[in-house]
Structure 1
Amino acid sequence: MEPTVSPELTAATAARYRLRSQRLVPRTDDQTTVSNLLTAVSGIQAQEKPAAALGVRARSSTLTKADLERALYEERSVVRTWCIRGALHLVAASDLALLLPIFGSTFVSRGPEPKRLEAMGLDEAAIDRAMEVIRDALREEGPLTREEIARVLRESGVGVDSESQAPYHLVRRAALLGILCEVAPKEGQTAYDLLDEWVQFDDPPDRQDALVELARRYLRAFQPASMDDFAAWSGLYVRDVKLAWGLVADETTEVTVDGTQAAMLTDDLEAYESATKPTNSTDSRGAADAADRVRLVPGYDSYLLGYEKENRPIPREHESRVWPGAGIIRPTLVVDGHVTGTWRLDRSRATTAAVVDPFEPFDPDLEVPLRDEVEDVGRFLDIEIELRFVD
């Protein structure tokens, strides 16, 4: 029997596939809800609310900021909480049964947070007591802001300095444990309430089944990707990463991206090849039209964070312009799947502007689709926006 030969993908083809996996090309239409979109892309990182909202915009031609807020606070079909990598994400409420048991149990103890809390005078006994106080307070008084939670903790004998980061870390832990989640703002402040009173979701699956489903969903949202990419995106322990990746292996096909091994779900590979097939031998961009070549992607976007560092679509020489330090990840200009600049919203003038800072002189042929992107940001936010380039 002839040995199976892995399909070989160029970097350009892999970029087209990844754009498609993240629903950045083509963007979804008016039949997609916010919750369905979030399930399809395995959540959107949401440490900054405005950036997370614009992540929805980048993947939908019809959803608006008002749709997102309605899904969050009226329908409750979407939740902003800590889960993947222990970080804040927008996720479908129906996916919490899958995500929280996996990531909550991992990130309650993983990372620097336990030592930070200990340095603030909170040992494990004090933290456990804090969890009980938070649960009881929300049951009796919720929803509560972080400042109100800090007050209740102090009144209950848990030594918490409201000026420190202790309340934040305790709220995060309570979210990872499935005690609370973020709910509608209270007098303009971020508020929290009991998770099981805010949303309803199914019982969690068996952990092994959950890990397999997580790997499957990751691939569907980021393929082609490697096990190392999955590890970077999830932040899970190596044993869990290897178990999940191994158990989903019979559903995947190995591919190579410029000689580097990756994988795709076998059922999706043929569909991707058909959907992104070049229209002729000279068209290196595939079937995507000019409008799909340009995307204004927000800061902290999953498109950048879904892969290990070596596989991120950012030129090494310009990486510091996207990651300047202090945990900041700037909004990016993406052309044909590769980061070619940064951008920001400037609200200092009468008309808000999208200020674009390309790494290299911008291709004039792409100015029309870029202006269309800027106009679409305005559609999503329901404001007028103009395009400006950094000199």
Structure 2
Amino acid sequence: MTTELGRRALNRALLARQLLLERHAMPALEAIEHLVGLQAQAPNPPHLGLWTRLADYRLDEAGELIADRRALRMVLMRGTLHLVSARDARALRPITQVILDNHLKARAAELGHLDLAAIVAWARALLEEEPRSDKDLRALLAERWPDQDPALLAWAVRCRLPLVQVPPRGIWGSSGTARHTTLENWLGPAVPDPSLEDLVRRYLGAFGPASVQDVQQWAGLTRLGEVVERLGPELVAFRDENGRTLYDLPDAPRPGPGAEAPVRFVPDFDNLLLSHADRARIISEEHRKRVFTVNGIIRATFLVDGFVHGMWKIEKGRGEAVLRIEPFAPVPGPERAALEEEGLRLLAAAHPKAKSHGVEFV
């Protein structure tokens, strides 16, 4: 008989895989690879995501990896920007290209009259000559093809080419316009060795146990049931409270529903909230509607007893840094004190030069 895993058991398994049951003494690059990247639409959230997971993490550590080209930011799973290791960029980009190809197919009527191969080749040469911003690329495309929509051409180029955001974009404490070059130009040529089987294994290691639909939600890919079926002999199967079949790696941590889960501050866009079709293991549907906005923003949240219990943001002005905590329900006294303590640690790390730090519940 297949073992049933309840909501709390799945929650604790997810938190263990996501390095959130305890802070780990793990190098940042190893953590980035273990998590199969961190979603990175905004520059700072991935750094905060590593801070909340790792012991003694400095917020500039991942920036050093980006500057040394050991990590980078590029569009991958779900067609969204991720911070990944250089090794994973090469492994994952060929697999996820189909997502961007589907975007192009959806606008085939607008693109059908264009010699897209020639446009992409011309743009590649420009982007490999020197990294360029989207604004720069649009201007050059408009000059070369004055009768075409430069925004559409630039979008098509971004879909077709594996583009890397170059530093200082993505480095903690830095700012500036995003500029891009190709993955090959940034890292040098390499022979890709894409493997959907390895992609599923690594997903389960970071997010399992999970259903086929969960894997597809995270990756932005379809027909992964065939891959899971091929992996069948090396996986174990469970079922959730709704009877869905969940797959997992045999030796992956499943600490059980009674495991202690400390309070944690989770940054905007964190994959913790985005990587399952059924997110009940981490956030209720009622709360998801408050955290996920209609314009695609996923707000920063905090965990109490392992589940999303509210949202947070940092406001800074006149030398003061304040962490404002917005609970969805009353927070018990011990957890409230723990949030205040953890919040002050977060402020000290994120804004060490502020004259004062404060935590407010609103």
Aligned-pair Cα RMSD in Å: 2.4
SS of alignment partner, residue 232 of structure 1:
helix
Aligned partner of 1:110 among 93, 102, 105: 102
SS of alignment partner, residue 102 of structure 2:
coil
Aligned to 1:173: 159
- Residues 334-353 of structure 1: pairs in structure 2 closer than 5 A: 334-353=303-322
1:305/1:312 contact within 8 Å kept: no
Aligned partner of 1:222 among 207, 218, 221: 207
In the TM superposition, residue 374 of structure 1 has moved relative to its aligned partner by 1.4
In the TM superposition, residue 126 of structure 1 has moved relative to its aligned partner by 4.2
Task: Tell me how far apart the structure 2 counterparts of residues 63 and 90 of structure 1 sit (CA, whole Å).
Answer: 16
**Gaps spanning 5+ residues in structure 1: where?**
278-283
1:8/1:259 contact within 8 Å kept: no
In the TM superposition, residue 200 of structure 1 has moved relative to its aligned partner by 4.5
SS of alignment partner, residue 119 of structure 2:
helix
In the TM superposition, residue 302 of structure 1 has moved relative to its aligned partner by 0.4
Aligned to 1:93: 86
SS of alignment partner, residue 307 of structure 1:
coil
Aligned to 1:143: 131
In the TM superposition, residue 89 of structure 1 has moved relative to its aligned partner by 0.7
Task: Tell me how far apart the structure 1 counterparts of residues 189 and 56 of structure 2 sit (CA, whole Å).
Answer: 27
In the TM superposition, residue 365 of structure 1 has moved relative to its aligned partner by 0.8
Aligned partner of 2:270 among 279, 288, 301: 301
In the TM superposition, residue 21 of structure 1 has moved relative to its aligned partner by 0.8
Aligned to 2:39: 45
Are 1:246 and 2:224 matched, yes or no?
no
In the TM superposition, residue 53 of structure 1 has moved relative to its aligned partner by 2.3
Distance 1:380 1:161, change over 3 A: farther
Aligned to 1:155: 143
Distance 1:256 1:33, change over 3 A: same
Aligned partner of 1:70 among 58, 64, 74: 64
Distance 1:359 1:139, change over 3 A: closer
In the TM superposition, residue 297 of structure 1 has moved relative to its aligned partner by 0.7
1:93/1:201 contact within 8 Å kept: no
Task: Tell me how far apart the structure 2 counterparts of residues 160 and 376 of structure 1 sit (CA, whole Å).
Answer: 52
Aligned to 1:14: 10
Aligned partner of 2:327 among 358, 364, 377: 358
Distance 1:310 1:189, change over 3 A: closer
1:285/1:336 contact within 8 Å kept: no
Task: Tell me how far apart the structure 1 counterparts of residues 276 and 218 of structure 2 sit (CA, whole Å).
Answer: 6
Aligned to 1:198: 186
1:10/1:258 contact within 8 Å kept: yes
Task: Tell me how far apart the structure 1 counterparts of residues 118 and 348 of structure 2 sit (CA, whole Å).
Answer: 47
**What is the TM-score of this pair, normalised by structure 2?**
0.89
Distance 1:24 1:166, change over 3 A: farther
Aligned partner of 1:264 among 233, 248, 256: 248
Aligned to 1:281: none
Task: Tell me how far apart the structure 1 counterparts of residues 177 and 281 of structure 2 sit (CA, whole Å).
Answer: 35
In the TM superposition, residue 321 of structure 1 has moved relative to its aligned partner by 1.0
What amino acid does structure 2 have at the position aligned with 1:37? A
Distance 1:377 1:130, change over 3 A: farther
Aligned to 2:341: 372
Task: Tell me how far apart the structure 2 counterparts of residues 368 and 171 of structure 1 sit (CA, whole Å).
Answer: 50
Distance 1:41 1:134, change over 3 A: same
Q: Which has the higher contact order (CA 8 A, sep 6+)?
A: 2
Task: Tell me how far apart the structure 1 counterparts of residues 337 and 206 of structure 2 sit (CA, whole Å).
Answer: 28
Task: Tell me how far apart the structure 2 counterparts of residues 262 and 124 of structure 1 sit (CA, whole Å).
Answer: 46
In the TM superposition, residue 246 of structure 1 has moved relative to its aligned partner by 1.2
Task: Tell me how far apart the structure 2 counterparts of residues 166 and 363 of structure 1 sit (CA, whole Å).
Answer: 54
- Residues 25-64 of structure 1: pairs in structure 2 closer than 5 A: 25-29=21-25, 32-64=26-58
Aligned to 2:167: 184
SS of alignment partner, residue 295 of structure 2:
coil
In the TM superposition, residue 317 of structure 1 has moved relative to its aligned partner by 2.4
Task: Tell me how far apart the structure 1 counterparts of residues 60 and 139 of structure 2 sit (CA, whole Å).
Answer: 33
SS of alignment partner, residue 72 of structure 1:
helix
Aligned to 2:217: 232
1:150/1:160 contact within 8 Å kept: no
SS of alignment partner, residue 251 of structure 2:
helix
1:45/1:87 contact within 8 Å kept: yes
Aligned partner of 1:128 among 117, 125, 135: 117
**Gaps spanning 5+ residues in structure 2: where?**
170-174
In the TM superposition, residue 16 of structure 1 has moved relative to its aligned partner by 0.9
Distance 1:45 1:329, change over 3 A: same
Distance 1:256 1:124, change over 3 A: farther
In the TM superposition, residue 158 of structure 1 has moved relative to its aligned partner by 6.0
Distance 1:314 1:160, change over 3 A: farther
SS of alignment partner, residue 110 of structure 1:
helix
